[in-house]
Amino acid sequence: MVRVGILGASGYIGGELLRLLLQHPDAEVTAATSRRHAGEYVFRVHPNLRGVTELKFSPDDASKVVESSDVVFAALPHGESVKAVPRIADAGLRVVDLSADFRLGDKGQYPVWYGYEHPRPDLLEKFVLSVPEINRDQVRGARLVSSPGCMAITAILALAPLFRERSFGVDRDHVVVDAKVGSSGAGGKPSLATHFSERYSVVRPYKPAGHRHSAEVEQVLAAMAGERVKVSMSAHAVNMVRGILVTSHVFTAGPVKALDVWKAYRSMYAGSYFVRLVRDKQGPFKLPDPKLVVGSNFCDVGFEIEERTGRLVALSATDNLVKGAAGNAVQSMNLMLGHDEKEGLTMAPLHPV
Amino acid sequence: MNTSCTECGAELAVPNDAIVGEIVSCKDCSTEYEVAEISNGNVLLKPAEQVGEDWGE
């Protein structure tokens, strides 16, 4: 049984890590920290966990977490994780970080996207940005792993096969990623923007240009393409609590056949349980829809071709808190420990929601 | 009897006791085919008729 500590366990991602890890057959949650809620029962903040655990939040004391854990999940805000994680990493524990603080391999990108100089660039070289469906072998051997942003991983899983298949000749300078995300993507801290009267029914373009997740998507796609890739991302808040739909647009050098695109996706994701190819001729759900992945670690991926313009539209849907965060993190832990990556994650999505 | 889906390339399993006129559907993309002919263990499929949806275009 692996002993697991969670830093920042009172947020939505922390709650989702608890939900998954408390039911994981090989994990024991030994610490769940929260500055604000230390001493309180976990289920007071995450009421879905009433009857599931008697665990209480512990204070934000990294040394105690180090003593009681083999693996530490850091679900802290960007800028906070970089303060807490180095101590844990230096102590030799396995770390899965869910913030952006260790996602980018190039320290020069931190001032550009996050406005700070990275204090521990030596650690950036050691962290593996984990998309198991793409770099499973790297994650297997890693002690330090970062999990991509929810929109980033959803976009990456749809786009990576298109860059891997060189015969498509995808234009690396014009990649448009359009994301629609539910309210839980904004975290659990309330604001006027998340107030029910202001948030309900919106289709709010909250970051039409320059989204930070572009950097992670570019990093992974460049590795796939073997050359620099430029990603233009737009993000919208829509009327869901959970879920992301990403519609990505790329342009190919010449005509591309649907059969070849199917082949590219199948060849990349053969053996990847959590990626489902959805391009159905029948029923109301012909292409990925976040409604059908809620509560699960699945990423549904599909595509459509517009021959007239040479556009290939790749669609992908995830539950932003599961495959977009906690689920991918647990999947990564499973690999780091040499376990089956599906362990504790095979729950089917809810339907209807 | 196995063949492949012309839409998505997935393997398409046609039951051994299939009869002409029977509809078979691809597991991956749900494209439907009608069994047009069976001879010497080989099966010939043709696209089944579909009713299109009107999304108000």
**Could you state, in order of their start, the residue ranges of all structural domains in chain B?**
2-47
Cβ neighbours, 10 Å, residue A343? 17
Å from A265 to nearest chain B CA? 11
* For residues A181-200, average pLDDT: 93
Question: Crossing angle for the helix pair A150-164 and A213-225, nearest 10 degrees?
Answer: 20
Long-range Cβ pairs for the range B44-51 (8 Å, 24+)? B45/B3, B45/B12, B45/B14, B48/B23, B50/A281
Distance of CA A292 to the CA centre of its chain: 17
Angle at A188 between CA A186 and CA A190, to 5 degrees: 85
Q: How far is CA A313 from CA A69, A178, A231, A310, in A?
A: 44, 11, 14, 10
Question: Any alpha helices (H) in A22-55, and if so which ranges?
Answer: 42-45
Amino acid letter, A238: V
Interchain CB contacts (distance < 8 Å): A and B: 26
Å from B15 to nearest chain A CA? 21
Sign, CA torsion A333/A89/A124/A210: positive
Q: Which residues of B touch A263 (CB under 8 A)?
A: 9
Q: What is the pLDDT of residues A10-64, one digit of tens each?
A: 999 999 999 999 999 999 999 999 999 999 999 999 999 999 999 999 998 888 9
Mean pLDDT of chain A: 97
Architecture of domain A2-126: 3-Layer(aba) Sandwich (3.40)
Burial grade of A165 (CB within 10 A; 0-12, 13-18, 19 or more): buried
Q: What is the pLDDT of residues A221-262, one digit of tens each?
A: 999 999 999 999 999 999 999 999 999 999 999 999 999 999
* For residues A126-152, average pLDDT: 97
- Between B9, B10, B30, which is nearest A281 by CB? B30
Please report, for chain A, the start and end positions of each structural domain, with discontinuous segments joined by +: 2-126, 151-318
The answer to whether A2-126 and A151-318 have equal CATH topology is no
Residue A352, preceding peptide bond in cis (omega within 30° of 0): yes
Burial grade of A202 (CB within 10 A; 0-12, 13-18, 19 or more): middle
DSSP state of A349: P
Q: How confident is the model at residue A271 (pLDDT cuts 50, 70, 90)?
A: very high
Contact yes or no for A98/A16 (Cβ under 8 A):
no
- A294: Cβ contacts below 8 Å, ≥ 6 apart: A242, A243, A319, A349, A350, A353
Q: Is the pLDDT of residue B38 over 70?
A: yes
Q: Which residues of B touch A262 (CB under 8 A)?
A: 8-10, 28
Residue of B nearest to A266 (CA): B10
**pLDDT score at B57:** 64
The chain A residues in contact with chain B (CB within 8 A) are: 258-259, 262-263, 266, 277, 279-283
Architecture of domain B2-47: Single Sheet (2.20)
Complex ipTM more than 0.95, yes or no:
no
- Between B8, B30, B32, which is nearest A262 by CB? B8
**CA pair distance A230, A210, nearest whole angstrom:** 11
CATH class of A151-318: alpha beta
> Which one of B4, B8, B24, B31 would you mutate to disrupt binding with A, by most A Cβ within 10 Å of its Cβ?
B8
Catalytic residue among A13, A88, A131, A150: A150
Mean pLDDT of chain B: 88
Å from A281 to nearest chain B CA? 5
Q: How confident is the model at residue B1 (pLDDT cuts 50, 70, 90)?
A: confident
* For residues A323-330, average pLDDT: 98
**CA pair distance A81, A6, nearest whole angstrom:** 12
Q: What is the pLDDT of residues A260-270, one digit of tens each?
A: 999 999 999 99
* For residues A208-226, average pLDDT: 96
Q: Catalytic: A299?
A: no
**pLDDT score at B55:** 65
- Between B8, B32, B50, which is nearest A279 by CB? B8
**pLDDT score at B56:** 65
The answer to whether A258 contacts B50, with C-beta atoms less than 8 Å apart, is: no
Å from B38 to nearest chain A CA? 25
